[in-house]
Structure 1
Amino acid sequence: MANGLLGELQQLAGGLTVGQVVLFILAAGFVLLVVDYTRVLLLRRKMPPGPFPLPIIGNIHLLPERKPWIYFEQLAKEYNSPVITFWMGRRPNVWLNDAQSASDLFDKRATTFSSRPRMVVFGELAFGQSSLVSMYYGDRFRVHRKLTHMGIGLQQVRGYQQLQSDENKVVLYDLLTDSENYVAHLERYAASVVSIIGFGRRISTVTDPIITEVIFLMQRAAEHNVPGNSFPMIMESFPILAKFPRWMAPWMKNMGKPRAKNFFYALAEEAAHSDEGKDNYAKKLFELAPKYNLSEMELSTLSGSLFGAGSDTSSSTLITFLLACCAFPGVLPKAWEELDRVVGSHRSPNFEDEPNLPYVKAFAKEVLRWRSVAIIGGQPHAPIQDEVYKGWLIPKNTWTQGNVWAIHRNEENFPDPDRFQPERFLKDSPHHNPFPNERGYMTFGWGRRVCAGQALAEQGTFISVARLLWAFNIRKALDELGNEIPVDIFDYTDGLNIRPNPFKCRITPRNAEIKATIEREGKEALDNLSIYNGETKFRISTYHLENQ
């Protein structure tokens, strides 16, 4: 076959020998390579500083296997520039490593920086333009954003305070008797809240399949969705690798429409057509599907995105809270004093207490700042036209990402950034520093691409932090000799959404009166939530990847 092809090329080349044809092909390839590399070098001169790119591979060989956000933070310091360019193959990737540049581009220029670049792994090979996460900015994006706000927008989440409060009281009740399994209880709580909102059904046990399967799936997706030089993310730098047929490309194994598509559609359809009369987000989506011409895939991603916006991320935030309490016990007494003065022992804190709990509110904000879950701000932004920032060119469709790790560790905004210090968020404190936005952190992204679940997450973080501080003394665990077991504040997972790796801690009620209150309120909460009890017949493990 090869000889036949060379023969045809030889005829087309007017009787050249096979060797001459081969040399011609090599020469043509070399010329194309030189032309393309010249384009890269000329473009590099106009863009923000960064490592010198090699032909074809760019800077991929420099990329570390783990936690690349730390490397990009170091590059920003090395080049003395918060904005840097890193070449992923022939594609430039711009990283914003301080709050000001992220605010200037993503917030103040949201009109042009609210789209997405071409995304292969989590776009074309997954949900494509049917998912808000990977969708280009435009009319369809606005429809999906409107529908998402209908479920978990700022006005709607206030109506979820009661169920959020009740589920939180159940967590305290569970931790009284089973504090060692705190991760499972926090995951159950976070997943149950979004399950009630989305599907009208609570998650009552830590073994419910939505926890054991869906959160695992989300964590696995987060692990793969990190800029890297290995599969599958290497396909973002070399999209041609995604064109190979699966039978001859082992890296394409298990790539295709995720099983979550059918699973979340089945859950939504089940909830929408339930005869129990419970109001839920899925029911609203199915009612509006004809008006907005929603496909099955869109119904799946809209309902399933609730778990991405509010389950794994929320539970990870609370695990970080526990780690901070163990690592910095000195911050607890001030919170206890405020809670005892404002709330007392005979009831737990509620949402109405928030204005009177400034230190506890600052504590919750510092949790969101100290170790933000979405460590690189979620998916990349891309300008819809060429943009110039401080004299640098950022070409149209360039991958542009905010490095939240570097932003929240910037010494100008947060001196001694690894120290957990709630006073940073008290405006009358000497530890408070100006920040480009009112919240004082960039945990949930920017502009029109800000996390849709931000209001729900912030609301849940406050009440959870307030209740856990009120209820328990959270300390380092003890070994067999009674010595405290150290915790490592840098021991986190490597995925796009980070959380502490497993650690042990002691969670004990602060006094007998508080313990009695936890028990009483926990039982009342279970009774209130019983209207949402039920079980789905669907399991994500029953759906297989659609590889055909």
Structure 2
Amino acid sequence: MAVIASSMELPSISDALSSRMLRLVLALLVATGVGALIVDYARMLRLHKKMPPGPLPLPIIGNTHLLPNSKPWIYFEELSKRLNSPVITFWIGRNPTIWINDAWSASELLDKKAAIYASRPRMVVFAELTGMQQSSDVHAKKPGSNLVTMYYGDRWRVHRKLTHAGVGLQQVRKYRGFQNDESRVIAYDLLHTPEKYVAHFERYATSVVSIIGFHRRVSSTEDPIITEVIAVMQKAAELNVPGKTFPMLFETFPVLTRLSPTLFPWMFQGLGKRRRGQQFFYALAEEANKKTPDQPCYANQLFEERPKYGLRDDEISSLAGNLFGAGSDTSSSTLITFVLACCAFPEVLPKAWEELDRVVGHHRSPSWEDETELVYIKAFVKEVLRWRSVAIIGGQPHAPIADDEWNGYTIPKGTWTQGNVWAIHHNEHEFPDPDRFNPDRFLKESPDARPFPNDKGYMTFGWGRRVCSGQGLAEQGTFITVARLLWAFNIQKAHDEQGDEIPVDIFAYTDGLNMRPQTFPCRFTPRSAEIRDAIEREGRQALEDLAIYEGESERVAEFFTRNKQEA
């Protein structure tokens, strides 16, 4: 009986040992995890002490919980003032980010040290999840497929060279003819359907870039290329703004990217449109190369250079698509801001009209030859670009290729470094009463003028070697179009049914990186009968001149048909 009893006790002893081992393993795992957390948090605190001022980060989440639900650039501006430092550190998860909030510090770091701040940081959402960055290793053999997100190196130089061949400062002057004609068409369209002014601006901006890229103009506001381009660009802009909801939360917890989009579609929502855009732009470029091989357009250049540089399909797609990023959504948004400024600050218009009437008259619209004499109009354009800059946080972030120092603080290699254009352009020191639209700021003899670290007086297009490639095209088109619309119309607030003016809100803007005004009604009234006749005459002539670029795109139709079937 004793033997039987002893044998019956063996399983319970074995179970006890197994249970104890399990507890030991679990305790060891917990201890290892806590130890790793302590070591990692110690690393964060060491960096926090060495880097520019910022709120104390928490373990794992850093300062992500402090991010506002919208317009974080305003929060960073306020935080910079509170900490009394133009350069601040803010932790997105376990990674520090640098935010530069005044013009002089931005110039010192991003312009004067352009060679150091020439690279990009790891961008999980905007770059890796959309296939534009293949690796977080800055020395990777595959630095990415897109100039915008590419790490600094030899492949970046190839893409930059090819981009300059399309929209570099030496090239854009060649586009003045059709850019001017498309601008004349805007005035013509506003004369007949002024309520569609947003659609007219989008058509114009998309058409100019489409002619450069594919030798095909966009003649209708209903052309599907407009909706696709604007949607892709705005979605890309949304994926560039720090946030604490999906998909931007991937920046805080990159490990979540290993989850399956099929099992967790709500996490990956919004990324498909960015991927679809890559296919769309390659289809446009390939079609242009086949249909108009002898015509001078950017797509033909890319396919001609393909063997020399070994360009992949995704690289051709990104180079072609970046034309739209440089000049479609941004240019149309700038023109909408121009209209908002006219409605909100009508007191600045008479001075513009006086100069236009003196230099140009009513019998024709402004031309490029008038530019040197249109001093106030050029100041007006600069104030449009300053007052509500489209790329409100200066485009994509920079990253130093080596450890750097600012005012005794360390900025480690690879750190996400962002210029806060909103804060820079709303600094009271450089721009007193910054929310007031005041072109006099850019007149040298004006008491409102203030020193600025660059000759332009604004930082709308970024800095250093990562400055926007389409800057020349955008500035050129904005000048001629703003000059023409100021010459042509009295742009005013709309009236309600009782005949009272409908107020406009100068702070009602979208939340994306490329911000634009929320929709608002307005009026476009020709300034004289003679001007109305000139608009009609020049508009009809412009449409005749642009006829050489007319044509349908079979690939666009096929693309949208296929995507509807797959949806």
2:291 aligned counterpart, secondary structure: coil
Deviations 1:311-343 (A, max 9, x none): 000000000000000000000000000000000
Matched with 1:170 is 185
Query: 1:88 aligned to 2:104?
Result: no
Matched with 1:347 is 364
Q: Residue type of the partner of 2:62?
A: G
Higher CA-based Rg: 2
Q: Give ranges in structure 1 of 5+ residues lacking alignment.
A: 1-9
2:497 aligned counterpart, secondary structure: coil
Deviations 1:369-423 (A, max 9, x none): 0000000001110001110111011001000000000000000100000000001
- Are residues 245 and 412 of structure 1, via their aligned partners in 2, closer, same or farther at CA, if it must alter by over 3 Å? same
1:104 pairs, out of 104, 108, 114, with 108
Q: Residue type of the partner of 1:36?
A: D
2:491 aligned counterpart, secondary structure: strand
1:462 pairs, out of 467, 474, 479, with 479
2:554 aligned counterpart, secondary structure: coil
Matched with 2:560 is 541
Quote the Cα distance in structure 1 between the aligned partners of 2:201 and 2:247.
30
Q: Do the aligned residues in 2 keep the contact of 1:380 with 1:399 (CA within 8 Å)?
A: yes
Quote the Cα distance in structure 2 between the aligned partners of 1:245 and 1:455.
42
Q: Do the aligned residues in 1 keep the contact of 2:293 with 2:300 (CA within 8 Å)?
A: no
1:438 aligned counterpart, secondary structure: coil
1:133 pairs, out of 117, 126, 148, with 148
Quote the Cα distance in structure 1 between the aligned partners of 2:301 and 2:293.
15
Q: Residue type of the partner of 1:165?
A: N
Quote the Cα distance in structure 2 between the aligned partners of 1:446 and 1:219.
22
Deviations 1:249-293 (A, max 9, x none): 331356467011221111101111214732100001100110011
Matched with 1:240 is 255
Task: Note the 1:24-35 alignment, pairs <5 A.
Answer: 24-35=28-39
1:433 pairs, out of 444, 447, 450, with 450
- TM-score, normalising length: structure 2: 0.92
- Are residues 372 and 275 of structure 1, via their aligned partners in 2, closer, same or farther at CA, if it must alter by over 3 Å? closer
1:43 pairs, out of 30, 43, 47, with 47
Q: Do the aligned residues in 2 keep the contact of 1:263 with 1:543 (CA within 8 Å)?
A: no
Q: Residue type of the partner of 1:478?
A: H
Quote the Cα distance in structure 2 between the aligned partners of 1:138 and 1:244.
31
Quote the Cα distance in structure 1 between the aligned partners of 2:72 and 2:205.
28
Q: Residue type of the partner of 1:98?
A: D
Shift of 1:538: 2.4
Task: Note the 1:360-371 alignment, pairs <5 A.
Answer: 360-371=377-388
Q: Do the aligned residues in 1 keep the contact of 2:125 with 2:239 (CA within 8 Å)?
A: no
Quote the Cα distance in structure 1 between the aligned partners of 2:562 and 2:233.
16
Quote the Cα distance in structure 1 between the aligned partners of 2:252 and 2:562.
30
1:146 pairs, out of 136, 141, 161, with 161
Shift of 1:33: 0.6
Q: Residue type of the partner of 1:541?
A: F
Matched with 2:520 is 503
Q: Do the aligned residues in 1 keep the contact of 2:54 with 2:90 (CA within 8 Å)?
A: yes
- Are residues 26 and 298 of structure 1, via their aligned partners in 2, closer, same or farther at CA, if it must alter by over 3 Å? same
- Are residues 65 and 543 of structure 1, via their aligned partners in 2, closer, same or farther at CA, if it must alter by over 3 Å? farther
Query: 1:447 aligned to 2:464?
Result: yes
Shift of 1:246: 2.6
Quote the Cα distance in structure 2 between the aligned partners of 1:506 and 1:255.
38
Query: 1:279 aligned to 2:283?
Result: no
Quote the Cα distance in structure 1 between the aligned partners of 2:338 and 2:196.
15
Matched with 1:7 is none
Shift of 1:104: 0.6
Matched with 1:382 is 399
Matched with 1:514 is 531
Matched with 1:4 is none
Q: Do the aligned residues in 1 keep the contact of 2:235 with 2:270 (CA within 8 Å)?
A: no
Quote the Cα distance in structure 1 between the aligned partners of 2:40 and 2:264.
26
Query: 1:306 aligned to 2:323?
Result: yes
Q: Residue type of the partner of 1:444?
A: F
Q: Residue type of the partner of 2:507?
A: F
1:405 pairs, out of 391, 405, 422, with 422
Task: Note the 1:125-274 alignment, pairs <5 A.
Answer: 125-126=129-130, 127-128=132-133, 129-250=144-265, 251-252=267-268, 255=271, 258-274=275-291
Shift of 1:19: 1.3
Q: Residue type of the partner of 1:252?
A: F
Quote the Cα distance in structure 1 between the aligned partners of 2:420 and 2:178.
34
Matched with 1:6 is none
Matched with 2:22 is 18
Q: Residue type of the partner of 1:216?
A: A
Q: Do the aligned residues in 1 keep the contact of 2:51 with 2:411 (CA within 8 Å)?
A: yes
Instruction: Tell me how many residue pairs correspond in the alignment.
Output: 536
- For structure 1, which segment, 211-220 or 199-208, has the greater mean C-alpha deviation from structure 2 after superposition? 211-220
- TM-score, normalising length: structure 1: 0.95
Q: Do the aligned residues in 1 keep the contact of 2:205 with 2:332 (CA within 8 Å)?
A: yes
Q: Do the aligned residues in 1 keep the contact of 2:287 with 2:555 (CA within 8 Å)?
A: no
Matched with 2:79 is 75
Shift of 1:302: 0.3
Quote the Cα distance in structure 1 between the aligned partners of 2:402 and 2:563.
40
Matched with 1:3 is none
2:123 pairs, out of 119, 122, 128, with 119
Q: Residue type of the partner of 1:157?
A: V
Q: Residue type of the partner of 1:31?
A: G
- Are residues 254 and 220 of structure 1, via their aligned partners in 2, closer, same or farther at CA, if it must alter by over 3 Å? closer
Quote the Cα distance in structure 2 between the aligned partners of 1:387 and 1:221.
29
Shift of 1:148: 0.3
Shift of 1:217: 2.1
- Are residues 130 and 542 of structure 1, via their aligned partners in 2, closer, same or farther at CA, if it must alter by over 3 Å? farther
Q: Residue type of the partner of 2:223?
A: D
Shift of 1:224: 2.9
- Are residues 542 and 95 of structure 1, via their aligned partners in 2, closer, same or farther at CA, if it must alter by over 3 Å? farther
1:248 aligned counterpart, secondary structure: coil
Q: Return structure 1 stretches of 4+ with deviation > 4 angstroms.
A: 13-16, 253-257, 542-545
Shift of 1:248: 3.4
2:492 pairs, out of 475, 499, 502, with 475
Deviations 1:189-219 (A, max 9, x none): 0100000000000000000011122212211
Deviations 1:125-146 (A, max 9, x none): 2122000011001111111001
Q: Residue type of the partner of 1:289?
A: R
Q: Do the aligned residues in 1 keep the contact of 2:120 with 2:152 (CA within 8 Å)?
A: yes
2:69 aligned counterpart, secondary structure: coil
- Aligned residues with identical type, % of pairs: 65
